[in-house]
Amino acid sequence: MGSDWSPWRYGKHNHVIIKLAVSILLVGLAFRLFASSSGGLERVSEVRESNLSFSDGYAGERSDTQVPDSGASVTQTNKSGEGKCDFFVGDWIYYPSGPRYTNATCPRIEDHQNCMKNGRPDSDYLYWRWKPRYCEMPVFDGEKFLEMMRNKTWAFIGDSISRNHVQSFLCLLSQVAEVVDVYHDEEYKSRTWQFPSYNFTLAVIWSPFLAKADIFEDINGVSTSEIELHLDVLDKKWTDQFEKFDFVVIAGGKWFLKTSIFYEEGKIVGCHYCPKRNLTELGFQHSYRKVLGSVFDYIATSKHNVVTFFRTSTPSHFENGEWFSGGTCKRTRPFKENEISISDMDRILRDIELEQFEKALERQTANTAKFKLFDTTMLSLLRPDGHPGPYRQLHPFAQDKNAKVQNDCLHWCLPGPIDSWNDMLMKMVEDD
């Protein structure tokens, strides 16, 4: 199994110890996180609170999360005047028209997300669409989008969730225009496509840490050494190309949970979970906060004016275990808000993201990048039914209906819930 499918795996040799260590760490940080999460966003103009309770067997705790609004979510007043439109507050509604493409009409779906081809027996997960509470969200119009993007370039920068997303984007656009493959790296993790009739270029850049990182994992995700993460050096895979982009969708997240040695100015300064090393334990919060701050500083101070969508991290839906301990995701319908909660780990990542995004808004000027919050965390949390589960591989139960199969409860089936992310992106571009 490729290490890429589960970007937050810690390596098979230390996952049990790490879960224990992280649990202890969380207890120690509880008071500090409580104080910092409220103080970091005091200056935002508007606050949304997501009151999520425990129910229906999904583990987690209640989360009251503050989200910056200025420059983040597109706002408009609905016709009835009942409330202000926030694209990221809404419900998954039944959508009888179903998906706008299939694995037959979009052969570019990667095998691990091709749930139809791999034999997933149910199909209800295909018939839901995200609907904001107080405004309308038009269905993604590929032809209209391509016309708006004539002579433009988009880049999706991040880990395998970014690649999962760009596949959805590509599938929708390829229904209305010819697309040509123009580049891929050796492992097909970074790729570029072009739509010749519109001179529109679409790229995905594999950069799971957004910063320079030396990763020592084999194709099965087994680590031979700790990751060496340079906190003060951004990844040249995307910075060297940055001036070519008109729009970027950038994201970090769960790769920062892996065991890592931290470098600054070429010297080791600490680590995240390295008990066999005589190093200062700084924790993943330190590395994620520092790297995101550097990313936003780089974009805000660049002379290249680019529209930057920062996508928040995506929660997983493993139940009764994790990816390495028999965890599954067997649900076949979306959650309601009162049925879910965000996990401690996802909440910590999210708090850091919102804190750093708020600082980015303060730094931007009329002549610098336009930062927009692409807040997919909560709406994704409501879709436990949208993952490949055991159907990340071809017909996993063909030989044995009781076979023990590793599940993917992090990435998304294609077609699937992630297609609605593009509805929101297009609307945010239109309304800018």
Q: Is the peptide bond before 415 cis (omega within 30 degrees of 0)?
A: yes
Structure tokens at 255: 């790769």
- Answer whether residue 47 shows pLDDT above 60: no
Q: Which residues contact 166 (CB under 8 A, 6 or more apart)?
A: 156, 191, 202, 204
Q: List residues with catalytic annotation.
A: 160, 408, 411
- Answer whether residue 408 shows pLDDT above 80: yes
Q: What's the pLDDT score for residue 51?
A: 30
- Answer whether residue 142 shows pLDDT above 70: yes
b/e sequence 183-206, b meaning 16+ C-beta within 10 Å: eeeeeebbbbbbbeebebbbbbbb
Q: From its phi and psi, is residue 109 left (phi > 0), alpha (psi between -120 and 50) or beta?
A: beta
Q: Indicate the Cα dihedral angle 298, 300, 302, 308, nearest 10°.
A: 90
pLDDT confidence bin for 290, thresholds 50/70/90: very high
Query: β-pairing, 153-158 with 128-132?
Result: unpaired
Q: Which residues contact 139 (CB under 8 A, 6 or more apart)?
A: 100, 129, 423
Q: Among the listed ranges 41-50, 67-76, 230-239, 258-267, which one has the minimum average pLDDT value?
A: 41-50
Beta carbons of 156 and 191 less than 8 angstroms apart: no
> Residue written as tokens 């990816």?
323
Beta carbons of 408 and 420 less than 8 angstroms apart: no
Span 277-291, mean pLDDT? Answer: 96
Domain count, the chain: 1
Q: What's the pLDDT score for residue 333?
A: 96
Q: Which helix (H) or strand (E) holds 26?
A: helix 15-39
- Answer whether residue 141 shows pLDDT above 50: yes
- Answer whether residue 44 shows pLDDT above 50: no
Q: What is the pLDDT of residues 322-331, one digit of tens each?
A: 888 889 999 9
pLDDT confidence bin for 82, thresholds 50/70/90: low
Q: What's the pLDDT score for residue 305?
A: 87
Span 358-374, mean pLDDT? Answer: 86
Q: From its phi and psi, is residue 11 left (phi > 0), alpha (psi between -120 and 50) or beta?
A: left
Residue 229: give its domain's CATH number.
3.40.50.1110
Span 364-369, mean pLDDT? Answer: 74
Q: What is the pLDDT of residues 382-399, one digit of tens each?
A: 999 999 999 999 999 999
3-state secondary structure of 285: helix
Percent of the chain with pLDDT over 70: 80
Q: What is the pLDDT of residues 308-321, one digit of tens each?
A: 999 999 999 999 98
- Answer whether residue 53 shows pLDDT above 70: no
Q: What's the pLDDT score for residue 97?
A: 96
Q: What's the pLDDT score for residue 340?
A: 86
- Domain span at residue 254 reads 3-430
Span 252-267, mean pLDDT? Answer: 96
Kindly tell me the sign of the dihedral angle through the C-alpha atoms of 50, 53, 56, 58: positive
> Residue written as tokens 């008071």?
31
C-alpha–C-alpha distance, residues 157 and 155, integer Å: 6
- Answer whether residue 364 shows pLDDT above 80: yes
Percent of the chain with pLDDT over 90: 71
Q: What's the pLDDT score for residue 52?
A: 31
Q: What is the pLDDT of residues 128-138, one digit of tens each?
A: 999 999 888 99
Measuring CA to CA, how many Å separate 423 from each of 46, 246, 262, 309?
Answer: 24, 19, 38, 14
Q: Which helix (H) or strand (E) holds 309?
A: strand 307-311
C-alpha–C-alpha distance, residues 430 and 41, integer Å: 28
3-state secondary structure of 337: helix
Q: What is the pLDDT of residues 2-26, one digit of tens each?
A: 445 443 333 444 443 344 444 434 4
- Answer whether residue 220 shows pLDDT above 80: no
Closest of 57, 58, 135 to residue 91, by C-alpha: 135
193 strand-pairing partners = 181, 202
What is the biggest distance separating any 2 CA atoms in the chain, rounded to whole angstroms? 62
154 strand-pairing partners = 202, 247
Write the DSSP assignment of 199-257 as a string of letters. Answer: TEEEEEEE-TTSEEEE--B-TT--BSS-EEEEEEEE-HHHHTTGGG-SEEEE---GGGG
Mean pLDDT over all residues of the chain? 83
b/e sequence 53-75, b meaning 16+ C-beta within 10 Å: eeeeebebeebebbbbbebbbbe
Model pTM score: 0.83
Span 165-179, mean pLDDT? Answer: 97
C-alpha–C-alpha distance, residues 169 and 415, integer Å: 11
- Answer whether residue 202 shows pLDDT above 70: yes
**Cβ atoms within 10 Å of 137's Cβ, excluding its own:** 17
